[in-house]
Amino acid sequence: MRASEATRISFDRAADQLDLSESMRRLLLTAKREVQVQIPIERDSGELATLIGYRVQHNDARGPMKGGLRYHPHVDLDEVRALASLMTWKTAVVDIPYGGAKGGVSIDPAQWSQRELERVTRRFVDAIHDLFGPDVDIPAPDMGTTADTMAWIMNQYGRYHGFAPACVTGKPVEYHGIPGRDEATGRGVGALTLKLLSRLGRRIPGTRVAIQGFGNVGTHTAKFLHDAECLIVGVSDAGGGFHRAAGFDVLELLRHAHAHGGRLEGFTGGDAITNAELLALDCDVLIPAALGGVITAANAAAVRAPIIVEGANAPTDPDADTILEGRGVVVLPDILANAGGVTASWFEWVQNRQHYQWGINRVRQELDRILGEAFEQVWQLAGSRKVPLRTAAYMLGVGRVARATVLGGVA
């Protein structure tokens, strides 16, 4: 299923519950602007390469548009479009004053040197610098991009528009970033997992967790849940995964990944498994934290975890959602579960604009408060309307965007 089709189905389920008119649905589903640009660069070898970059600015009814920048070979306009709309609902679910956007370049960053990636990023900014900025659209990291990428964006943007650190978030702490942004998505995934476990009346210590993806989101989620006395029994990345029924020493996993360019390959503290086996692992909580579309109608019946927490964006197809719901599997949806990243990005943007810095404790405290409030609202709505958590989260997000659209006026 195409990514935009999948997000459309989730939108429609909520729009039906909200009784939204056809005209409002059409307005909310149409992106404000979509751009595709050519990125010609010279590789280290002297060879010329031409890449394609995308930025989709979906909706700004609630504020400047906000969303990550993904470097991955599967990036295409349809995926970026779907992810941009998710950002609109996500910023509304956590009620921060932003709209939604997303960008991407179709590239496998593992095949390119740092200097090449820097050139790609700077050329991309050359092509779109007039279309984003602190009050318009603010990029951030996503799969395949890092704090370094964000620093290059800020620097290149500044060459055209002057000093404007708030034009991008997720920057290095030493270069106008903030402590706590790096960990925020994983911390949020972990903290919301604990909230969900408590609401479901399950004991937290000893909860067995499997995580797909061991990048920014996966590593911080693993660390947070390990610190909360959960057992991380499965982990994986693009190269495959590992299983240890008694739980990994997470610090050992992190040390291994750090020493091997972020990869798990060669880890000796567990049994090797495939990514398909990881998704079907015997555990209490499954956390997809890598690609979208990994839980489908074809493998949903094989998922043994009774709880799924979506660290990744759009990891579960709507058909799989229906199968999981029928089996009583509780799914905490992406637009709530991984909203910690954009929330901390908002803190970074606020501090950049005020030329002021909060400490890490304040960042964590505010993050936990905002995510906790959003969780309660979604949980209550799901209970009162007897709908799955995903539909409740969409109802909250889509409803807020629809109201802002009406209040702002469209005539």
- Closest to ligand NAD by CB, 13 vs 90, is 90
Interface positions, 200-219, toward ligand NAD (CB under 6 A): 212-218
250 binds ligand NAD (CB under 6 A): no
236 binds ligand NAD (CB under 6 A): yes
238 binds ligand NAD (CB under 6 A): yes
* # residues near ligand NAD by CB under 6 A: 24
Angstrom distances, CA of residue 189 to CA of 150, 173, 183: 22, 22, 10
CA atoms within 13 A on the CB side of 317: 16
Position of minimal CB gap to ligand NAD: 215
Angle at 215 between CA 211 and CA 216, to 5 degrees: 105
Task: Map residues 8-47 to x or -, x wherever contact with ligand NAD holds by CB under 6 A.
Answer: ----------------------------------------
- Closest to ligand NAD by CB, 63 vs 341, is 341
For residue 27 the two structure tokens come to 């307005």
DSSP label at residue 77: H
Task: Map residues 285-324 to x or -, x wherever contact with ligand NAD holds by CB under 6 A.
Answer: ----xxx-------------------xxx-----------
> Measured from the CB of residue 276, what is the shortest distance to ligand NAD in angstroms?
10
272 binds ligand NAD (CB under 6 A): no
CA dist 363 and 180 (Å) reads: 6
Residues 308 and 186: beta-carbon distance below 8 Å: no
Interface positions, 336-365, toward ligand NAD (CB under 6 A): 338, 341
Residues 13 and 394: beta-carbon distance below 8 Å: yes
Task: Map residues 49-68 to x or -, x wherever contact with ligand NAD holds by CB under 6 A.
Answer: --------------------
189 binds ligand NAD (CB under 6 A): no
Residues 389 and 379: beta-carbon distance below 8 Å: yes
Render 95-146 in DSSP notation, one character per residue: T-S--EEEEEE---GGGS-HHHHHHHHHHHHHHHTTT-BTTTEEEEE-TT--
Amino acid at residue number 65: M
Active site residues: 102
Residues of this chain that interact with ligand NAD (CB under 6 A) are: 141-144, 185, 212-218, 236-238, 275, 289-291, 311-313, 338, 341
